[in-house]
């Protein structure tokens, strides 16, 4: 099966459903509705210009698959896809996982993808370690931060105030830097299928104090991920970085142990953190790309045809997920405004100036100064 080039576009469709629309002998469209009933993202192969037909909802699709499936004469190879999010299309990770699953299962006679959401195969680090040992998960979609446990060089992607925008992220990860980091991960036993987007930048979210200037953030106890780079980033901004499991944050803010946390708007919405916080300062201090990796040992067991299908599915999932990122972020911000949260821009010039030294220091410690300069040089 040859590799197709995929694109996405916005278009009007009268639906609130996430659905698949198939055309005989051509391919398929996938629609993701936005907050407005008449807006959606359509994803399709570039050669597809024929009129759309055979649109079916997920439930009908599953029924049709069961109805027309031919007898199974050989046991399929099961691809166990693990991720930490709930099985919900509000999640950028689960959305990508579902698209990947649908493509592989419909285009391969020998492979079957099963999704294990909400850490069903163990916490993220356990899932990655299992992949190295050839047990548990076959592939994982996660943030890049967890992979610092396997190669410190990937930490360059999580440096504070590094990214200029979505286009910059894509140009870097789809280019030389992404290829070099993929090589490092391969040494650790992981095959990179695709680099993906978080659905929005990480911002400072607080319960009582509004952050408008660098002075306002000083001393605030803000939860962050328990990785040295994230902690260093917040401390450099003047906050008191407090690593904590995210499941504990809601209560910690509620009882006053924390002043807030840092994360993207989509997470604030999904986890209902608007119930215990009031302000979002648009610091955009971290982006935190996602990565889709496959067990290298399991990858080598696939035939060339199977690898082709898997890569096509990963590209499709990546492109749709990226296309949805700015839309989902905007939707989340509007939702949070409607819930009464105060969202405002922040002059980050001082933060950015201070971040340069942190970027250089961490990059030197990890031996990735060359990668840092390469990222900075990309427009």
Name which of 189, 24, 6, 35 is nearest 99 in CA terms: 6
Closest CA to 181 of 131, 135, 147: 147
Same-domain check for residues 212 and 354: yes
Establish if 26 belongs to a structural domain. yes
DSSP string, 275-306: GT--EEEEEEEE---EEEEEEHHHHTTS-HHH
Inside any domain, residue 128? no
- Asked whether residue 120 is domain-assigned, the answer is no
Number of domains making up the chain: 2
Structural domain range at position 357? 202-287+335-377
Please list, in sequence order, all residues whose beta carbon lies within 8 angstroms of the beta carbon of residue 73, skipping any fewer than 6 positions away.
none
Largest separation between any pair of C-alpha atoms in the chain: 68
Residue 230 burial (10 A CB sphere; 0-12, 13-18, 19+): buried
Cα-flanking dihedrals φ and ψ of residue 28, to 5°? -155, 160
For 237-291, write each residue's pLDDT tens digit. Answer: 999 999 998 889 999 999 999 999 999 998 899 889 999 999 999 999 999 899 9
Q: Is the pLDDT of residue 74 over 60?
A: yes
**Is 345 a member of any domain?**
yes
Radius of gyration over every alpha carbon of the chain, rounded to an integer in angstroms: 21
Assigned domain for 368 exists: yes
SS3 203: strand
Question: pLDDT tier at 73 (50, 70, 90 boundaries)?
Answer: low
Q: What integer pLDDT is reported at residue 71 of this predicted model?
A: 52
The Cα 156–Cα 378 span in angstroms is: 14
Last residue of a domain, one of 26, 49, 69: 69
Average pLDDT over residues 305-315: 98
Q: Among 69, 95, 115, give the residue marking a domain's end.
A: 69
Are residues 233 and 357 in contact, defined by beta-carbon separation less than 8 angstroms? Answer: no
Does residue 50 lie within any of the structural domains? yes
Residue 19 lies in a domain: yes
Q: Per residue in 95-141, pLDDT tens?
A: 999 999 999 999 999 999 999 998 899 889 999 999 999 889 999 99
Poorest-confidence range of 88-92, 134-138, 219-223, 264-268? 88-92
Q: Which residue has the tokens 């821009």?
A: 345
Q: Identify whether 156 is part of a domain.
A: no
Answer whether residue 55 shows pLDDT above 80.
Answer: no
**CB contact set of 323 (below 8 Å; sequence gap of 6+):** 8, 41, 43
Query: Cα separation of 285 and 280, whole Å?
Result: 13
**Which neighbouring-strand residues pair with 112?**
78
Q: Among 21-25, 78-82, 143-147, name the one with the lowest average pLDDT.
A: 21-25
Is residue 103 within 8 Å of residue 115, measured between CB atoms? no
Mean pLDDT of the chain: 84
Q: In what order do the strands lie in the sheet with 240-243?
A: 240-243, 221-224, 260-263, 202-206, 279-286, 342-345
CATH number, domain containing residue 252:
3.40.190.170
Q: Contact 112/77 with Cβ under 8 angstroms?
A: yes
| pTM over cut 0.85 | no
Considering 31, 46, 69, which residue would you say is the last residue of a domain?
69
DSSP classification of residue 168: H
> How large a percentage of the chain has pLDDT more than 70?
81
CB atoms within 10 A of CB 6: 19
Residue 222 CA to residue 117 CA, distance in Å, equals: 28
């Amino acid at each position: 099966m040859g590799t197709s080039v995929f694109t996405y576009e916005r278009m009007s469709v009268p639906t609130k459903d996430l659905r698949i629309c198939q055309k005989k002998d051509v391919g398929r469209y996938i629609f993701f509705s936005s907050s407005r009933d008449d807006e959606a993202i359509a994803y399709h192969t570039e050669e597809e210009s024929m009129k759309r037909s055979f649109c079916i909802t997920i439930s009908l699709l599953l029924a049709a698959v069961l109805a027309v499936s031919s007898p199974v004469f050989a046991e399929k190879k099961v691809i166990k896809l693990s991720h930490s999010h709930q099985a919900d299309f509000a999640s950028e990770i689960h959305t990508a996982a579902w698209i990947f699953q649908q493509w592989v299962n419909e285009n391969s006679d020998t492979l079957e993808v099963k999704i294990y959401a909400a850490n069903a195969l163990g916490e993220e680090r356990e899932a990655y370690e299992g992949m190295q040992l050839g047990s548990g998960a076959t592939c994982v979609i996660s943030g890049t931060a967890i992979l610092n446990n396997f190669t410190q060089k990937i930490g360059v992607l999580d440096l504070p105030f590094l990214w200029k925008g979505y286009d910059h992220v894509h140009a870097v990860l789809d280019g030389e830097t992404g290829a070099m980091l993929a090589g490092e991960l391969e040494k650790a036993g992981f095959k990179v299928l695709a680099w993906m987007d978080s659905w929005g930048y990480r911002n400072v979210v607080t319960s009582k104090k509004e952050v408008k200037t660098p002075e306002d953030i000083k001393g605030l106890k803000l939860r962050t991920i328990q990785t040295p780079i994230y902690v260093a980033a917040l401390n450099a901004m003047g906050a008191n970085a407090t690593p904590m499991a995210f499941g504990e944050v809601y209560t910690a803010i509620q009882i006053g142990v924390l002043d807030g946390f840092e994360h993207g708007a989509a997470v604030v919405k999904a986890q209902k953190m608007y119930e215990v916080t009031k302000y979002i300062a648009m610091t955009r201090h971290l982006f935190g790309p996602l990565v889709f990796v496959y067990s290298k040992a399991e990858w080598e067991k696939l035939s060339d045809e199977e690898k082709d299908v898997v890569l096509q599915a990963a590209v499709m999932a990546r492109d749709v997920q990226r296309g949805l990122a700015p839309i989902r972020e905007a939707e989340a911000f509007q939702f949070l405004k409607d819930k009464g949260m105060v969202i405002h821009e922040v002059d980050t010039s001082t933060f950015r100036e201070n971040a340069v030294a942190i970027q250089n220091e961490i990059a030197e410690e990890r031996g990735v100064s060359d990668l840092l300069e390469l990222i900075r040089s990309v427009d």
